[in-house]
Amino acid sequence: MRLENSIWHRYHPQTSLHEGLVRFYGCESESVSTDDDYLYALLKRKLTKKELRFLIMDEAKVDTFVIADTLHVSVEECEALRRKAYRKLRDGKMRKLVTSQPESQDNEESEGY
Residue-wise pLDDT tens digits, 1-43: 466 667 888 888 888 889 999 999 888 888 898 888 899 999 9
Is 113 domain-assigned?
no
Is 108 domain-assigned?
no
Is 24 domain-assigned?
yes
Residue 38 sits in which domain range?
7-99
Our count of domains for the chain comes to 1
pLDDT of res. 87: 95
Is 35 domain-assigned?
yes
Residue-wise pLDDT tens digits, 38-86: 999 999 999 999 999 999 999 999 999 999 999 999 999 999 999 999 9
User: Rounded to an integer, what distance in angstroms lies between the CA atom of residue 64 and that of residue 15?
Assistant: 21
Is 112 domain-assigned?
no
Q: Which of 1, 21, 31 is nearest to 101 (CA)?
A: 31
Alpha carbon of 38 to those of 29, 98, 112: distances in Å? 16, 9, 22
| 47 φ, ψ (degrees, to nearest 5) | -115, 150
